């Protein structure tokens, strides 16, 4: 038997592994352009969050139809990869269906299970294509998805359909060859879904069947390897990043906003309150808030790469619903695009972060961040616990504290809060005068 197919397989597998390693290194470096942030507290709660949200798809089921379809694809992706593991072993060993002789009837039952999931994935992908391109669900057709994002979403669905068709074709031709007595193919017993398409290939010669079976096998394994590389350029990177992203979720109450430690220490010092943080000489502050991705934390940038572009955040955003320019999904896409731009510049020996551009201004406008009501609807809606609000608030801080560029009405409010301890311009001693008036009116 020729060892050429094994050598080709090894070369293809090694080449794909090398490309994937380089791409993962690129993404890791981009994520670490952000500032350090510790998210290792409450490990038991973090494991629970990852189990419920990433593995359990908990937040997806707020909308049952896409949730059920997505669950089919998710389960298919996980379980069908068990069969892919056999493909890889077959490729290295030069054998065919290496587990079949050892598992007997259980193997046939397992293949039937894989085929059911393949059919479910195929059905779900067709429905998703219809939702995107025919019924045109509003959140899937917004302007930030024009161009590559829309093409990317459709490509992934088409690729998944092609991979599932390849599995069913391989199994159908495989069993026809076994029925013809070809010694390299094992009769597995009835396979339901591939059995439905066997009549399509029944009139082919044995040589044509062998060619088609081998073509489907190679198409599927090369397709899987290419898919693994492709998703690192795609919004479908969330297939992998959803798990660390949910583990590193912000576990604080959603209404709690984190103060800047430098400002807190300075205020404490002004009030004469001593703490361990302000006992030492204060370090020089590089920048208040965030202007570019290096001012964000690495968790914020990982959030951007984990974005599924599903648009649930934007569809729930009250600012967007009322016609404002803000789209939380676009905020995350912009952070990811800026990180990619900086990373590509660094790889080419360019200026990187010193290219004269910045996240705020070149990607995200002040109009967008000023429209945010800080209601946390986007954070609550995200199926993988992405937090656009933290990024928006950091950019607002930069505009307010570094540029003094907040709207005039906001500056008046800030001044009133500083001098009168409330947004309204009256003395704190007069704050409860209304109560006296109510008391006087209620007296007989």
The reported pLDDT for the residue numbered 315 is: 94
If one compares 377 and 434, the residue with the highest pLDDT of the two is: 377
Pair 135, 221 in one domain = yes
- pLDDT for residue 295 is more than 90: yes
Residue 146: CATH number of its domain: 1.20.950
The reported pLDDT for the residue numbered 278 is: 55
Pair 188, 141 in one domain = yes
Kindly report which listed range (184-193, 204-213, 276-285, 416-425) carries the lowest average pLDDT score.
Answer: 276-285
Mean pLDDT for 362-389 is 94
The reported pLDDT for the residue numbered 184 is: 84
Pair 376, 427 in one domain = no
Q: Is residue 338 part of a domain?
A: yes
Residue 416 belongs to domain spanning = 412-444
Separation between Cα atoms, residue 329 and residue 312, nearest integer Å: 8
Q: Percentage of the chain with pLDDT > 90?
A: 55
Pair 141, 26 in one domain = yes
Q: Is residue 336 part of a domain?
A: yes
Residue 400: CATH number of its domain: 1.10.1060.10
**What's this model's pTM, rounded to 2 decimal places?**
0.86
How sure is the predictor about 283, in pLDDT bands with cuts at 50, 70 and 90? low
Kindly report which listed range (202-206, 271-275, 333-337) carries the lowest average pLDDT score.
Answer: 271-275
Pair 18, 159 in one domain = yes
Q: Is residue 141 part of a domain?
A: yes
Cβ atoms 353, 294 nearer than 8 A:
yes
Q: Is residue 257 part of a domain?
A: no
Residue whose C-alpha is closest to residue 389's, from 368, 405, 375 = 375
Q: Is residue 36 part of a domain?
A: no
Cβ atoms 330, 365 nearer than 8 A:
no
The reported pLDDT for the residue numbered 32 is: 95
Q: Is residue 42 part of a domain?
A: no
If one compares 183 and 167, the residue with the highest pLDDT of the two is: 167
- pLDDT for residue 371 is more than 90: yes
- pLDDT for residue 160 is more than 60: yes
Pair 428, 383 in one domain = no
Pair 207, 349 in one domain = no
If one compares 4 and 176, the residue with the highest pLDDT of the two is: 176
The rounded mean pLDDT for the chain is 88
Pair 315, 419 in one domain = no
Pair 78, 163 in one domain = yes
Pair 368, 428 in one domain = no
Render pLDDT for 67-116 as a digit per residue (tens, 0 to 9): 899 889 888 888 887 778 888 888 888 788 888 888 878 888 988 999 99
What are the DSSP calls for 56-77, one per residue?
Answer: S-GGGGGSHHHHHHHHHHHHHH
Compute the CA torsion angle 89, 95, 97, 103 (nearest 10 deg). -90
Q: Is residue 234 part of a domain?
A: yes
Q: Is residue 11 part of a domain?
A: yes
Mean pLDDT for 341-366 is 93
Mean pLDDT for 421-434 is 78
The reported pLDDT for the residue numbered 277 is: 56
Q: Report the number of distinct structural domains present in the chain.
A: 3
Q: What are phi and psi of 35, to 5 degrees?
A: -70, 155
Pair 431, 369 in one domain = no
Pair 21, 142 in one domain = yes
E-strand ranges in 88-233 read none
How sure is the predictor about 134, in pLDDT bands with cuts at 50, 70 and 90? very high
Cβ atoms 308, 384 nearer than 8 A:
yes
């Amino acid at each position: 038997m020729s060892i050429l197919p094994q050598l080709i397989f090894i070369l293809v597998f090694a080449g794909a592994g090398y490309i994937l390693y380089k791409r993962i290194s690129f993404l890791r470096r981009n994520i670490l352009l952000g500032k350090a942030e510790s998210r290792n507290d409450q490990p038991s709660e973090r494991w629970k969050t990852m189990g419920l949200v990433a593995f359990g798809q908990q937040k997806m089921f707020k909308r049952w139809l896409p949730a059920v379809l997505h669950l089919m694809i998710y389960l298919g992706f996980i379980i069908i990869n068990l069969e892919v593991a056999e493909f890889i072993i077959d490729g290295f060993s030069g054998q065919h269906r290496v587990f079949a002789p050892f598992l007997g009837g259980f193997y046939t039952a397992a293949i039937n299970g894989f085929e059911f999931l393949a059919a479910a994935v195929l059905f779900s992908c067709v429905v998703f294509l219809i939702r995107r391109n025919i019924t045109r669900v509003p959140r899937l057709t917004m302007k930030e998805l024009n161009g590559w994002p829309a093409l990317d979403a459709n490509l992934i669905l088409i690729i998944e359909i092609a991979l599932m068709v390849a599995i069913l074709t391989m199994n159908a031709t495989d069993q026809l060859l076994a029925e013809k007595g070809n010694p390299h193919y094992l009769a597995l017993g009835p396979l339901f879904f591939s059995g439905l398409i066997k009549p399509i290939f029944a009139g082919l010669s044995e040589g044509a069947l062998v060619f088609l079976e081998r073509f489907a096998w190679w198409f599927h394994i090369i397709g899987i390897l290419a898919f693994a590389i492709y998703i690192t350029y795609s919004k479908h990177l969330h297939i992998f990043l959803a798990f660390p992203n949910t583990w590193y979720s912000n576990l604080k109450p959603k209404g709690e906003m984190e103060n800047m430690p430098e400002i807190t220490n300075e205020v404490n010092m002004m009030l004469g309150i001593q703490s361990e943080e302000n006992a030492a000489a204060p370090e020089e502050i590089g920048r208040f808030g965030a202007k570019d991705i290096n001012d964000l934390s690495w968790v914020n940038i990982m959030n951007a790469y984990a974005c599924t572009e599903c648009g649930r955040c934007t569809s729930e955003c009250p600012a967007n619903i009322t016609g404002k320019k803000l789209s939380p999904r676009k905020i995350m896409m912009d952070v990811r695009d800026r990180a990619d731009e900086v990373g590509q510049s660094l790889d080419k020996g360019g200026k990187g972060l010193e290219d004269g551009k910045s996240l705020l201004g070149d990607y995200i406008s002040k109009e967008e961040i000023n429209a945010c009501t800080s209601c946390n609807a986007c954070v609550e809606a995200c199926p993988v616990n992405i937090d656009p609000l933290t990024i928006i608030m950091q950019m607002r801080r930069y505009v307010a504290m570094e540029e003094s560029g907040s709207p005039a009405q906001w500056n008046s409010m800030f001044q009133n809060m500083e001098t009168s301890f409330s947004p309204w311009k009256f003395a704190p001693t007069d704050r409860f005068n209304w109560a006296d008036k109510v008391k006087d009116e209620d007296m007989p």
